[in-house]
Structure 1
Amino acid sequence: MFVFRSFLAAALAVIAGGVATAPAAHAEGTIDATPRQVARLASVPAEAAPRAVGRPASVAAEAMPRVVGRTVSVPSGAMPRAAAQATGVSVGAVPRPAGRDAGIPDEAMLRPADLGGAETREADAESWPALRPPRPCGMRAPKPAADRAVSAIVDADRAPVVVLEYVAQHPAGAAERYLRRLRAAVRDCPNWRLEKSGTDTLTMRWTQTWEHVDDRVTHHTYVAVARTGRAIVLVADLGWETSSGERARAERLITPATRRAAVLH
């Protein structure tokens, strides 16, 4: 009996200790955590990550973490690993999932040399799905034979900016048809605007709005898309938190991204 009570007391102490050190949850759907706690949370599987409840439908599911003082407010619907990356806590590269995206090699993706030294990390399935690939107003997109997405936090005048790259390889003719349909869909979709159009390239602006600290935020994401052979290449400047991206950065990076994806021919 004494051994059983000692074991029970030890178990309760471990549980109590875990509760005492856990990040504090807030009603607004965020978790305040120190960088050390964020790094520990980064090992939590996606299935175990807490989900936001009652979040307005207009808020993007991939909203970036907020850095406040020495803590990080992590959107509870986001991957803890993304929050750790945003704070500069090294958690290692996200393993590339098996399946379709296993067919896109590293050589076909942007490298640190293209991004001012910033390392890229694999984007999980819940990161910016509306851009992988873009489907303005519900347009249909062909299923790729292989695809892959990576993101990087780059320095822009000493401020962080998130850049997303998506590469998809298609059967013969499908990439050309998708680009043609995309160009037409953007022209008729209220939240999208065609900024620039070429034979095998185009630049778009995607506008989202949401409530943030009693203010209504209008956020612009700039998306450059190009075709090389049977591959579609996308580079998006997502900005940071409520700050919009920049068209010039997306258009500048689509050039090396397309050049690297040419190895898929």
Structure 2
Amino acid sequence: MSRVRRPARYAVVALLAAAGLVGSVSPAAAHRPGPAGSVADSAFLQAADLGGVIPTRPDAGLRPQLRPPRPGPDGRYRSVATLNAEGTVSAVYPAPEGRPTVLIDYVAQYRGHGAARYLWELRLALAGRSGYTDGDGQWTLLRSRAGGPCSLLIRLRHQFTDPDRGQITQDTYLIVARAGHAVVVLADIGWEYGSGHQPIVEALIPAALRRAATVG
């Protein structure tokens, strides 16, 4: 999947949106479920987990396709009916190469067996060898049990063409994991043209699950 990158002034707006500083509109937002309750701040990664970086609540336009991911022909997961509460924080986090990266920590609380069902539906959608490709990119299940017994490590690969840089491949790495009745999505979406970092989400998912367990 390839498309032409918008002019530089749009890239600046996208950069600010990635940090949660300005709003943006995404067609994917139209497919999100109805309002649910909010999750307490204590259920998310804290500054103590992030080396002093203070997470903030982003606007609705920050990667709604990851909150939570629902790849599939129509994006309809039956587990949505059992969604009780959800929320997201984001953080601009230092990456190994000396530039920042943007983290997303999404937590959802389900009723009954909803959390387990969601994870099963997501695994089923990505069961093919090539994963699933839609308008957001190519979703690939890299590994199970990446953050505990009920977890999936996923790569979302997006390819586009920039007039100055040519063909660019940008990877987002996320771990989707269950902690009781809660589901955590911890994603590193990168910065500007750069990809996210698999080692960062793998290192932080234990803390994210501990925090989310307070509502699970």
TM-score of the pair, normalised by structure 2: 0.77
Q: Which residue of 1 aligns with 2:122?
A: 182
CA distance, structure 1, for counterparts of residue 99 and residue 19 of structure 2:
22
Segments of 5+ residues of structure 2 without an aligned counterpart are 1-5, 23-34
**Structure 1 residue 256: deviation in Å?**
0.4
Q: Which residue of 2 aligns with 1:261?
A: 212
User: What SS is found at the alignment partner of 1:113?
Assistant: helix
Q: Which residue of 2 aligns with 1:204?
A: 154
Contact 1:139 1:185 in 2 (8 A): no
Q: For the structure 1 residues 119 and 172, does the alpha-carbon distance in structure 2 shift closer, same or farther, using more than 3 Å as the test?
A: same
| 1:115 and 2:71 correspond | no
Q: Which residue of 2 aligns with 1:161?
A: 101
Q: For the structure 1 residues 222 and 81, does the alpha-carbon distance in structure 2 shift closer, same or farther, using more than 3 Å as the test?
A: closer
Q: Which residue of 2 aligns with 1:173?
A: 113
Segments of 5+ residues of structure 1 without an aligned counterpart are 1-27, 32-51, 53-64, 66-72, 84-98
User: What SS is found at the alignment partner of 2:203?
Assistant: helix
Q: Which residue of 2 aligns with 1:133?
A: 68
Identity of aligned residues (%): 37
User: What SS is found at the alignment partner of 2:48?
Assistant: helix
Letter of the aligned partner of 1:235 in structure 2? L
CA distance, structure 1, for counterparts of residue 19 and residue 53 of structure 2:
20
| 1:147 and 2:86 correspond | yes
CA distance, structure 1, for counterparts of residue 162 and residue 144 of structure 2:
33
Which 10-residue stretch deviates more, 191-200 or 231-240? 191-200
Contact 1:225 1:234 in 2 (8 A): yes
CA distance, structure 2, for counterparts of residue 227 and residue 220 of structure 1:
23
User: What SS is found at the alignment partner of 1:136?
Assistant: coil
Task: Tell me the C-alpha RMSD between the 2 structures.
Answer: 2.5
Q: Which residue of 1 aligns with 2:139?
A: 192
Q: Which residue of 1 aligns with 2:181?
A: 230
User: What SS is found at the alignment partner of 2:211?
Assistant: helix
Q: Write 1 or 2 for the structure with the bigger share of helix.
A: 1
**Structure 1 residue 139: deviation in Å?**
3.5
**Structure 1 residue 205: deviation in Å?**
0.5
**Structure 1 residue 74: deviation in Å?**
2.0
Question: Between Structure 1 and Structure 2, how many residues are aligned?
Answer: 184
Q: Which has the larger radius of gyration?
A: 1
